[in-house]
Amino acid sequence: MSQIGNAIEKRDNGPASIIEQYKPELATVAASHVKVDTFARLAVGVLRQNPRLMEAAQTNPGSLMNALMTAARLGLEPGTEQFYLRPIKRKGRPEVQGIVGYQGIVELIYNAGAAVSVVVEVVRQNDTFLWTPGALDDQHPPRWPGAMKQPFHKVDWFGERGPLVGAYAYAAMQGGAISKVVVLNSSHIARAKAKSDGADTEYSPWRTDEEAMWMKTAARRLGKWVPTSAEKRSAVIERVNAIDLAAAPLSEVDPDEDDGPIEGELVD
Whole-number pLDDT of residue 172:
92
* Angle formed at CA 134 by CA 130 and CA 135, multiple of 5 degrees: 100
Whole-number pLDDT of residue 189:
95
User: What does pLDDT average to in each consecutive run of 10 residues of the chain (268 residues)?
Assistant: 50 73 90 92 91 91 93 92 87 87 91 91 97 69 71 95 97 89 95 80 77 93 82 42 35 37 34
* Angle formed at CA 104 by CA 119 and CA 46, multiple of 5 degrees: 135
- Strand 93-100 to strand 182-185: parallel, antiparallel, or no bridges (unpaired)? unpaired
Q: Is the separation of the CB atoms in 84 and 50 below 8 Å?
A: no
Q: Is the separation of the CB atoms in 226 and 194 below 8 Å?
A: no
Q: Which of 183, 190, 192 is nearest to 251 (CA)?
A: 183
Exposure string over 32-58, b if 16+ CB within 10 A, otherwise e: eebebeebbebbbebbeebeebbbbbb
Whole-number pLDDT of residue 233:
43
Helix H or strand E encompassing 228: none
Helix boundaries (H) for the chain: 3-9, 15-21, 23-29, 36-49, 51-59, 61-74, 102-112, 186-194, 205-208, 210-222, 230-242
Sign of the dihedral defined by the CA atoms of residues 223, 224, 229, 230, in that order: negative
Whole-number pLDDT of residue 35:
93
**Whole-prediction pTM value?**
0.72
Give how far the C-alpha of residue 205 lies from the chain's centroid of Cα atoms, to the nearest Å: 12
Whole-number pLDDT of residue 242:
41
Q: Is the separation of the CB atoms in 37 and 76 below 8 Å?
A: no
Whole-number pLDDT of residue 129:
97
Whole-number pLDDT of residue 78:
93
